[in-house]
Copies of this chain bind each other. A is one copy, B any other.
Amino acid sequence: MSPDPAVQAAAQPDGRVAVIALEGVPEICPGDDLAAMLLEALRNTPLALPLRDDDVLVVTQKVVSKAEGAIVDLTAIEPRPELVAFAERWDRDARQLEVVLREARRVVRMANGVLITETRHGFICANGGVDASNMGPLSGNVVTLLPVDPDASAGRIRAAVARAFGVDVAVLISDSFGRPWRWGITDVAIGVSGMLPLDDLRGSPDADGRIMRSTVRATADEIATAAELALGKTAGRPAAIVRGTHPTRGEGRIADVLMPREMDLFP
């Protein structure tokens, strides 16, 4: 694919952001060396190289979970009776819901066919991140779980990129979450390495020099969302470089994004 001049030129600082999906990432299977496959894809994506220090590599949860073997065979799952009734009523797979509950720290809501839980990581989302889509050759009776430690997953990919290319990019692991009150899913960050997931602008001046009192920018989530626009849901593209966002470097953790329970107005 020939580089689009607008994308190329957009990959410059100050008001320009470019999202470049990596080309040719193969189907990922349990035990695969995901980092090595992403390095190869970086080499296959002309616009991606040379990498720059402020690039962010966004990798979708699904391939991370597959490579790490965070996969459950539903044929071995016996759902508890109350889930069977809920699943029948709402045309859901009771075995998948059972996996969601086993992975959950608590149930936040279970109504209207929707099961919202808090995962072990502290994420609150529909189906606890358990997902049956885009399973490749595993498709059918398997689901992926969220990676056990998505920050560590991001860190391993970041280290592999640094070793291969000598550039310390930030890495995000992304997943698609729904939102209260609005239809549709958007991608957020569920793992981070090499950047702060939030930019806390409180106390800094706005364009008029007025001190901002409540502006915390969810930069990592915004970058994950932008990546999704280039990746799509069905094109088999699991990773993208997001260039030009000037992330604040540092050893951030995704837990920094999670609101503590005592501040949560929607428990």
Question: Residues of A at under 8 Å CB distance from B?
Answer: 1, 4, 6-21, 23, 47, 109, 111-112, 114, 116, 123-124, 132-136, 139, 176, 179-188, 197-198, 201, 204-208, 210, 212, 215-219, 221-223, 225-226, 228-237, 240, 242-245, 256-259, 263-266
Q: Are B136 and A207 in contact (CB under 8 A)?
A: yes
**Which residues on B sit within 8 Å (CB–CB) of A205?**
234
A43 CB, nearest partner CB in chain B, Å? 16
Q: Are B259 and A215 in contact (CB under 8 A)?
A: no
Q: Are B133 and A244 in contact (CB under 8 A)?
A: no
Q: Are A18 and B4 in contact (CB under 8 A)?
A: yes
Q: List 12 interface pairs A-B (beta carbons < 8 Å), by A numbering.
A: A10-B20, A11-B232, A16-B230, A139-B208, A179-B218, A183-B257, A184-B217, A185-B215, A186-B218, A207-B236, A215-B233, A219-B229
**Which residues on B sit within 8 Å (CB–CB) of A264?**
180-181
A153 CB, nearest partner CB in chain B, Å? 19
Distance between Cα atoms of A264 and B266 in the complex (Å): 12
**Which residues on B sit within 8 Å (CB–CB) of A176?**
215
Q: Which of B19, B133, B212, B266 contacts A226 (CB under 8 A)?
A: B19
